[in-house]
């Protein structure tokens, strides 16, 4: 009887499984047929001409949008941009570009590549490309034309600010490899710093080589690994970077997905580079994905101290699948879990609100985990630093100066007027230099509203609506005029911050991205906190054991 019951249950399970599969297959087939019919009817009978390719791209994009923002369709026309994201390499001129009004401008050439070597500078306006008018083109359109096979020639007609004539420049495209490690150096005796831009192919080798260079230049008694604003990238590169600091065989991250083949554990599989050097990892809200694997693993294994602001919270793993006609699908296949067992994904895209929005995991639902030394850490919302440094508030005045490109334009003017930098590359511009900047702003428009000003406007609207305004008008006008008078001093009140931003922009005109990073480190509160902790071994040890 027992045997017959087991057989019956087995048959029932198989039958239900078959029914479920058949039902799922039918739903897929039915909806594909409906979609095909709609697509055909639109193309045949819609009143205006339709673009079949555009219609399909829109349909695919909207379908994938309902899942998560990392599952994307990549048509053949965008494959080169996707390759650049994973390899850091492309064929082109080597420059960042930006749109202003009706033209695209050079915003920063990469040092050592065709644009910079041919003399192009930040602020140059692109008038024509290979004789074709560039007016009205988007940055995407201009970028596609500037990119191309290495050793092919491109000709640009350029207009440079503060000069009277346009000029032509011709040069050959080159294989552009954007540095994954744009800067590394000793900040103080024995304390090294290393900036990692993104997790592109072989970036772990670049990190290793940078550390080896630091070790060969002196005694490395502490290392600051800067992952701020690093959006992530390749999973295996994050594992290899952690492997530089932990023992061979140590688990770094695991992935779990719907398909068994995605349940994997990634371990350090090489001998470490340096097990003993005190390590600080810097993160912020824009540190995501692979950056969170590295910072999370370092934290969970108590291998170093994490400083900054809570990271983005992307604990999802993507894989690319090849499609027909040289297109690809990048889709989320798993979630990753760092050594303590926690997943730091902040948003649950499978449970959206009624309006389609996705909420963050509330603190009350976060689960506690323990690091190797027994410290309490939590899942559900990015990596929370061991030492949180409050992010400095940026005033609306500075946002306005940046939005209107006035700091950028002044740096361009400075470079035009000065063949060489007139202040130390690691310092701020002087009081006199700030005065020249304020003179430059005298006839420029950079309208902005402070939070106080917005509150004034809100008070006036509400008091008018409730018929109180006439009663307070005299006092309101008196107070507002006092505020307007004080607002004129906003430039001086924000002088130090403006000088820091302006200095970095000016320095970049002479020593490009490396100079910008080097200059910024002198005013960086996260770096200052890291140096403070690394200079006090007892404090460093206390943070990792409490």
Positions marked catalytic:
289, 300, 314
User: 523: which DSSP letter?
Assistant: G
How far is Cα 298 from Cα 223, in angstroms, rounded to an integer?
13
Residues 6+ apart with CB under 8 A from 517: 182, 183, 195
Q: Are 301 and 339 in contact (CB under 8 A)?
A: yes
User: 324-359: buried (b, 16+ CB within 10 Å) or exposed (e) per residue?
Assistant: eeebbbbbbbbbbbbbbebbbbbbeeeeeeeeeeee
| DSSP per-residue codes, 19-46 | HHHHHHHHHHHHHHHHHHHHHHHHHHH-
What is the pairing mode between strands 305-308 and 279-283?
Answer: parallel
Structure tokens at 64: 């994938």
Integer-rounded Cα radius of gyration of the chain = 28
Taking each helix axis from N to C end, the angle separating 235-243 and 203-217, rounded to the nearest 10 degrees, works out to 20
Q: Which pair of structure tokens corresponds to residue 26?
A: 């039918």
Among candidate residues 382, 371, 318, 304, the one with its CA nearest the CA of residue 347? 382
Q: How far apart are alpha carbons 209 and 350 in whole angstroms? A: 41
Dihedral sign for Cα 437, 438, 440, 445, please: positive
Distance, in Å, from the CA atom of 75 to the CA atom of 82, rounded to the nearest integer, reads 10
Q: 64-73: long-range contacts at Cβ-Cβ below 8 A with a sequence spacing of 24 or more?
A: 67/332, 67/349, 68/316, 68/332, 68/347, 68/349, 70/314, 70/316, 70/318, 70/330, 70/332, 71/318, 71/329, 71/330, 71/331, 71/332, 72/329, 72/330, 73/327, 73/328, 73/329
Contact between 299 and 383 (Cβ < 8 Å):
yes
């Amino acid at each position: 009887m027992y045997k017959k019951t087991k057989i019956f249950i087995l048959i029932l399970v198989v039958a239900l499984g078959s029914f479920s599969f058949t039902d799922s297959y039918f739903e897929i087939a039915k909806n594909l047929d409906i979609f095909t019919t709609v697509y055909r009817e639109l193309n045949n009978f819609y009143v205006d001409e339709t673009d079949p390719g555009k219609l399909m791209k829109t349909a695919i994009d909207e379908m994938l949008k309902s899942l998560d923002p990392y599952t994307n369709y990549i048509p053949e026309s965008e494959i080169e941009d996707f390759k650049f994201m994973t390899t850091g390499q492309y064929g082109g001129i080597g420059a960042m570009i930006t749109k202003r009004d009706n033209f695209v401008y050079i915003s920063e050439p990469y040092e050592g590549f065709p644009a910079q070597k041919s003399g192009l500078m930040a602020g140059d306006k692109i008038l024509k490309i290979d004789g074709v008018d560039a007016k009205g083109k988007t940055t995407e359109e201009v970028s596609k034309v500037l990119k191309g096979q290495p050793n092919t020639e491109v000709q640009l007609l350029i207009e440079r600010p503060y000069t009277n004539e346009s000029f032509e420049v011709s040069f050959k495209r080159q294989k552009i490899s954007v540095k994954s490690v744009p800067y590394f150096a000793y900040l103080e005796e024995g304390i090294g710093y290393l900036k990692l831009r993104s997790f592109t192919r072989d970036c772990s080798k670049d990190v290793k080589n940078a550390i080896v260079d630091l070790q060969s230049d002196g005694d490395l008694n502490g290392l600051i690994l800067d992952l701020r604003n690093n959006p992530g990238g390749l999973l295996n590169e994050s594992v290899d970077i952690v492997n530089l600091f932990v023992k061979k065989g140590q688990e770094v991250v695991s992935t779990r997905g719907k398909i068994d083949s995605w349940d994997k554990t990634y371990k350090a599989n090489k001998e470490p580079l340096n097990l003993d050097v005190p390590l600080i990892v810097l993160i912020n809200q824009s540190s995501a994905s692979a950056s969170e694997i590295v910072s999370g693993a370092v934290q969970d294994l108590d291998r170093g101290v994490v400083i900054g602001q809570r990271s983005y919270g992307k604990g999802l793993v993507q894989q690319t699948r090849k499609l027909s006609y040289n297109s690809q699908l990048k889709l989320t296949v798993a979630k990753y879990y760092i050594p303590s067992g926690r997943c730091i994904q902040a948003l649950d895209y499978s449970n959206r609100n009624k309006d389609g929005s996705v909420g963050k995991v509330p603190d009350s639902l976060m689960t506690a985990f323990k690091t190797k030394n027994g410290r309490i850490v939590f899942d559900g919302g990015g990596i929370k630093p061991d030492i949180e440094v409050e992010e400095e508030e940026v005033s609306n005045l500075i946002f306005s100066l940046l939005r209107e490109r006035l700091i950028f334009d002044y740096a361009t003017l400075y470079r035009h007027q000065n063949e060489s930098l007139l202040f130390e590359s690691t310092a701020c511009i002087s009081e006199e230099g700030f005065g020249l900047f304020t003179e430059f702003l005298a006839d420029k428009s950079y309208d902005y509203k402070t939070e106080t000003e917005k509150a004034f406007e809100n008070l006036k609207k509400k008091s008018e609506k409730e018929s109180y305004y006439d009663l307070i008008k005299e006092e309101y006008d008196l107070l507002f005029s006092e505020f307007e008078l004080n607002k004129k001093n906003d430039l001086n009140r924000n002088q130090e911050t403006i000088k820091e931003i302006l200095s970095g922009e000016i320095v970049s005109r002479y020593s490009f991205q490396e100079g910008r990073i080097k200059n910024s480190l002198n005013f960086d509160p996260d770096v200052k906190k890291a140096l403070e902790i690394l200079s006090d071994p007892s404090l460093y040890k206390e943070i990792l054991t409490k």
